[in-house]
Amino acid sequence: MFIIDAHLDLATNAITLNRDLTQPVQSIRDKEIKMGWDDTQDRGKGTVALPEIRKGNIGLVVATIISRYAKEGNPLATLKLPGWHSPEQAYAYGQAQLAWYKVMEEKGEMVQISNAQQLLNHLAIWADDSVSNSIKPVGYILSLEGADSIINFNYLERYYESGLRALGPAHFGPGRYAAGTHSDGSGFTKIGRELLQKMDALNMILDATHLTDTGFFEAMDLFKGPVWASHQNCRALVEGERQFSDDQLKQIIERDGVIGGALDTWMLHPSFEMAKSNPREMGINLEKLVDHFDHICQLAGNSCHIGFGSDLDGLFGTEQTPYDMDTIADMGKFGGILSKRGYAQKDIENIFSGNWLRMMGKLWGE
């Protein structure tokens, strides 16, 4: 079944972590082990590369650019996350990531999707069973995770002209436009509120992931366009600011948005400790994500507001992934799990791709 993954940090892995994502996952793991790299916890344990994406029938992804600005006092240094010392540097680094996507397009590895006709053409390619998945391009919708690299609103228009169609104003820590995860609970800045207006004018998607509670409700009041949460789980099951409360989930449902379930194990189990816990020992399998799906379906009364936003390459690997998943190619296992949990075929189609496609169709007029 055709799958959409609404959150992958492909360019961060290619540029920041120096991973050649055209190679199979195991080859990347072997090289990192051979090199003795240990700068991030997932070295030698990664789960995402383009061959495995194709193998898993994941024909379309929402792919990010991440480039932070770390103002003095920003907790990014404590979190061991990179942050540039000026918005101009952040923008330039974002352009390096964009350049990687463009090179992947030139090689036929990927293709950007930014309008209805491109989407229809791409879906037709992936529906053609006479052609092997191994030679089909992976479609990507460009998203900005954290708005710090938008130097001013002229640069938002530049990003849009380059294909940007979704934007999450915040990431980790205080941001130029909005406060994010592990921030002090504040919301949008003055220019952040202006950003939401500019996004509305460009008919962009607001990604509410990583917003503080204050920022989330501000955004719901100010932003009039489509809203999704690309990689977000439920606070009712796993406590913490990074998850959404039922009130937040209901607001996205009321906006006909979609919540993408994330597969990072600290978002799946309330007692998981990063760099300490073992997913297998704690019984964290793919079923745990379906618990979050079940919760959202109960709030919505249907299966029309959930999907996958795996975040599987978000600076973690098998050490922080459900134990019954080796690579992203295993996403198809959810079909059997959902069926056993009582989801009908139409529900499964909604989750695998249909809900994201509905949002894109409404956005682009199809």
- The confidence score (pLDDT) of residue 81 equals 64
Q: What is the pLDDT of residues 344-365, one digit of tens each?
A: 999 999 999 999 999 999 999 8
- The confidence score (pLDDT) of residue 247 equals 98
Q: What is the pLDDT of residues 279-329, one digit of tens each?
A: 999 999 999 999 999 999 999 999 999 999 999 999 999 999 999 999 999
Q: What is the pLDDT of residues 127-143, one digit of tens each?
A: 999 999 999 999 999 99
Instruction: Domains for the chain: give ranges and CATH numbers.
Output: 3-364 (3.20.20.140)
Q: What is the pLDDT of residues 242-252, one digit of tens each?
A: 999 999 999 99
**Cβ neighbour number for residue 6 with a 10 Å cutoff:** 31
Q: What is the pLDDT of residues 224-234, one digit of tens each?
A: 999 999 999 99
pLDDT at 11 over 80: yes
Virtual torsion, Cα 282, 285, 289, 291, nearest 10 deg: -70
- The confidence score (pLDDT) of residue 365 equals 83
- The confidence score (pLDDT) of residue 337 equals 98
- The confidence score (pLDDT) of residue 76 equals 58
Percent of the chain with pLDDT over 90: 91
Averaged pLDDT score across all residues of the chain: 95
pLDDT at 79 over 60: no
pTM of the model: 0.96
